[in-house]
Structure 1
Amino acid sequence: MSALPVTVIGGYLGAGKTTLVNHLLRHAGGRRLAVLVNEFGTLPIDADLIEAEGDTLISIAGGCVCCSFGNDLTAALMQMRQLDPRPDHVLIESSGVAIPGSIMATAALLAEVRCDGVVVLADAGDIRRAFDDPYIGDTIARQLAQADIVILNKMDLAPEPPETLTAWVAAQAPGAAVVPCRDAQVPAEVVIGLGPHPVEAHAHAHDHADGLFESIVLTPAASEDAAGLARQIATGPYGVVRAKGWLRTPEGMALIQVAGRQGTATPASPESREGLVCIGLKGQLDIAALHALAARETASG
Structure 2
Amino acid sequence: MNKAIARANSFSISFLRQPGKKAWFGIGCLVAFLLIILVLSAGVAQPQVEPPLWQVYQRSLQQAKYVDLTHTINPLIPVWAGFGKSTFEPTINPKTDKPYTYKNDGFEATDYNLSTDQLGTQLDPPAHWEPNYPAIDELPATYAIRPLVVVPIQDKVAKDPNYHLAVTDILGWEKKHGKIPAGSVVFVRSDWSKAWTNPALAKQTKFPGVKLEALKFLHQQRQILFHGHEPLDTDSTPNLEAEAWLLHNGYTQAEGVANLDKVPEIGALVTIGYPKFQGGTGGYARYIAICPPDWKYGVSVGEIPEAPLPRANKPLRWDRKLGVRVR
TM-score, normalized by length of structure 2?
Answer: 0.23
| Structure of larger gyration radius | 2
Q: Which has the higher contact order (CA 8 A, sep 6+)?
A: 2
